[in-house]
Amino acid sequence: MDGNVQSTEIATPELDHSTLLQFPKIELHRHLEGTFELQTLFTMSIRNGIDLPTDFPSFKKEVQFPKDSEPDFLKFLSKFRNNWYRSHEDVWNIAYESMRAFADDGIHYIEVRFSPEHFAIHNNFDRLDITNIVVEAGKKAAEDTGTQIRYLLTFNRSRQTQEEMRELYDKVMSLQLSEIIGIDLAGDELNYPPELFVDFFKAVKSDGYCGTTIHAGEVTPAKQVWDALNVLNADRIGHGTSAIEDTNLQRYLADNGIALEQCITSNRQTGSWTDEANHPLGRLYKAGVPVTINSDDPTIQDSDLTDDYVKAVRYFDLDIEDLIKLNHIAIDATFLPETEKETLRNDYDAAVTRFRAAQNL
C-alpha cells in the first residue's frame, strides 16, 4: 500500500502523510477482502496459476483500481476476486500478512469485517474452518504487532438470502469466538433494501451478542439510512453519505449517538461522492453528527487509511484535536462491551500522548 497523498499544500502543514502514518487510529469500516497485502497476493497468484500477470507492476495494475482513474462502480467491484485460494494455508497466509500490515497504517484498534463465503466459495471450504483460520491468523498478527483486532461478519444482500444468513450466523456463533462482535450487511443496496432482511436482524438483535452495521446511503437516498435504523435497528451505518441531504436524520444520528463509518477515497472511486474536497464528512462532523474516518478497501483503492486522514485534514481544516475527537467518537461506536471500551479509551489516550511527545505536536 503505497498510497501517499501528495501535491498541493495542506491546511495544517505538520499533519502530512508521514506524520499521520504514526497517528494512532481506530478503524471501524474495512473489508479484509479489500485490504490484502499485495506482495503476498502476488506470490499466491503465481503459485496457484491464477490468470493474472506474472510481473509485479502489471499484476498491481490489474488488481487495483488506479488511484486517479475516473469513478466507476462496476470497475471497482470487478477488482474483487474470490478464486485466489487453493488451501487453508493460502487463507491463513493472506489473512495473517494483511492484518499484520494494519500496524504500518498506525492502526491501534480495528473492527475488520470479512465474509467467510468469500474465502470458502471457490473450493467449497467449510465456512467454520475458514472463520477459525481468519480469527487465528488475526490473533497471531495482533500478538506480533500490538494492533487490537476484532471482527464483524459480512453478509451480502444479493448473494445470500436471509435464511442462509441466519444459518451461517447460528453456526459461527456456536463457535463462541469472543473476537467476533458484529454483523455487517453489504452489497447491492439499490436492489436489495433493508426490508428484505428484517427477520435475520431481529434474530441477531434478540441474541444480543453482536452489534449491527448496515451499508446504507452510499448510493441510495437518506431514506435508506432511515430504513436501516427503523427497520433493521442498525447500531451504526456504513457510509451514510446521503445523510447530508436530511437535517432531521442528522439530528437523529447525533441525539442517538449512531455513528456513520465514512470513507472518502472509496466514495470517489465508486462514484458515491466524487468531489472529495466537498465530502459530507467535514460538514457532518461540524454539525455534531458522530462520523468516523475509514478506508473501506485500501488495497483495491491503491491507498491507505492514512490517505483518508490526510484528505480530512486538508479539505475540512481539521487539527490534531479534531482527529483525536474523531477517534473518541469511533471508540464510543465500537461494538466492545462497556468495560472494554473504557480500557480502550485509556489505552488509546496513552498512545496519543506518546505520539504527541514524539512528534512535538
Q: Which residues bind Zn ion (CB under 5 A)?
A: 296
Q: Which long-range contacts (CB under 8 A, 24 or more apart) does 267-270 make?
A: 267/218, 267/239, 267/241, 268/71, 269/65, 269/69, 269/71, 269/72, 269/76, 269/301, 270/71, 270/72, 270/73, 270/76, 270/218, 270/219
Decide whether 267 or 306 has the Cβ nearer to Zn ion: 267
Among 27, 37, 218, 261, the active-site one is: 218
Residue nearest to Zn ion (CB): 296
Whose Cβ is closer to Zn ion: residue 90's or residue 296's? Answer: 296
Query: Which candidate, 23, 1, 111, places its Cα nearest to that of 348?
Result: 23
Active site residue 218: yes
As a whole number of angstroms, the distance between CA 59 and CA 41 comes to 10
How many Å is the maximal CA-CA distance in the chain?
54
Nearer to Zn ion (CB atom), residue 31 or residue 127:
31
Quote the least distance from Cβ 30 to Zn ion, whole Å.
8
Q: Are 235 and 257 in contact (CB under 8 A)?
A: no
Quick one: 42 or 197, whose CB is closer to Zn ion?
A: 197
Q: The cell 480502550 sits on which residue?
A: 344
Strand 107-114: give its sheet, edge to edge: 25-31, 107-114, 148-156, 180-186, 211-216, 236-239, 259-262, 291-293
In DSSP terms, 182 is beta-bridged to 152, 211
List helix spans (H) across 25-115.
38-47, 56-63, 73-78, 88-100
**Nearest approach, Cβ of 184 to Zn ion (angstroms)?**
8
Query: What is the spatial distance between Cα 360 and Cα 117, in angstroms, rounded to a whole number?
Result: 46
Which residue, 97 or 296, has its beta carbon nearer to Zn ion? 296
Contact call for residues 296 and 287 (beta carbons, < 8 A): no
* Beta carbon nearer to Zn ion, 112 or 181: 112
242, 219 Cβ separation under 8 angstroms: no
Cβ–Cβ < 8 Å for 243, 221: no
Nearer of residues 19 and 262 to Zn ion, judged by Cβ:
262
CB of 213 to Zn ion, least distance (A): 9
3-state secondary structure of 342: helix
**How far apart are alpha carbons 334 and 136 in whole angstroms?**
21
**Catalytic positions:** 218
